[in-house]
Amino acid sequence: MTIATRTMRAAMIREHGDSDRLQLEEVPIPSAAPGDLLIRVGAVGLNHLDVFTRQGLEGPGIPPITLPHVSGVDVAGTVAEGPTAGQRVLVNPAIGCGACRQCRRGEISMCPNYTILGEHRWGGLAEYATVPATNAIPLPDHVEFTVAAALPATYTTAWRGMVTVGRVRPGERVLIVGASGGVGCAALQIGVLVGAEVLATASTSAKRQRALELGAVAAFDSRGDWLTEVMDWTAGEGVDLVHDAVGAPTWRRSIQSLAMGWLSAASSFRKSTPCTHSRASPKRRMRSTGASTSARS
């Protein structure tokens, strides 16, 4: 593959703020460092992380974003240079050092040097992007770039929440709170794939119908008393695992929807190893576990 010019168009962030801070500019094509690949972007997804990056969120544990910056977390495209030029790839945005204990265990998001493509390094809202070669996953010819670019951040996060730490099993009851969002929709599909009995919440009839089409056995109005409906549907038993993609507004009800016993949570909650979490529900013991963008699953 030959690159006719060494410049590219990119959506640049030179100062944080609203969407009007994005500027389409002509900038030099980045050079691939040793161990990296230069990717010609075929498609890039947009998600909340791109919005947060543009806004410049700050807080404990949030590293500052160096400006100017190019976001774009979810990338699919073609290797532009080198021995594998022409190879179609999907990029895993979770980047670790590859050498520490956590990386060797496959826990990339726990690496001390963990970074995310499009947040901590330039991403795919440009014609080209550089990525670690180890993060480039060969993409079959029949998978369109636009389909592939919808996968990385949402499905790896959902897989980690449902499978890696949620440990969902066939036949278990799973509640997906916020099933119409990217991560929630992915979690729903993963639960169905595993063979779980999946319940869902969503805010409109169209979204609830879509959840049913994707395999949910029941869907409840997220604006109504879905906790009571879930408990009625399960004959008062509750569910084995909750994947809550909403957060603070639903957290308490998510905990209350769980079946009694040993529980754990992962942006999800499930029966598991005990740990006291008494404020939300005194009779329940649970272990809370977060789920972030994951390594290759």
Domain boundary among 150, 178, 197: 150
Distant-in-sequence, close-in-space partners of 284: CB < 8 Å, separation ≥ 6: 255, 258, 260, 263, 277, 278
> Number of structural domains, the chain?
2
Residue 259: half-sphere exposure toward Cβ, Cα within 13 Å: 16
**Helix 152-159 vs helix 182-194: angle between axes, to the nearest 10 degrees?**
50
Q: Are 14 and 144 in the same domain?
A: yes
Q: Domain for residue 295, yes or no?
A: no
The verdict on 143 and 163 lying in the same domain is no
**Domain final residue pick, 86, 118, 150:** 150
* Residue 265: band (very low, low, confident or very high) from pLDDT cuts 50, 70, 90: very low
Q: Which CATH number does the domain housing residue 21 bear? A: 3.90.180.10
E strands present in 103-229: 115-116, 128-132, 136-138, 173-177, 197-202, 218-221
pLDDT in tens, 173-206: 999 999 999 999 999 999 999 999 999 999 999 9
Q: Which of 72, 52, 48 is nearest to 64 (CA)?
A: 52
Do 17 and 134 lie in a common domain?
yes
Mean pLDDT, the chain, as a whole number?
87
pTM for this entry: 0.83
pLDDT tens, residue by residue, 42-89:
999 998 889 999 998 777 777 788 999 999 999 999 999 988 999 999
Residue 279: its pLDDT value, please? 40
pLDDT value for 5: 74
Do 226 and 240 lie in one domain? The reply is yes
- pLDDT score of 292: 54
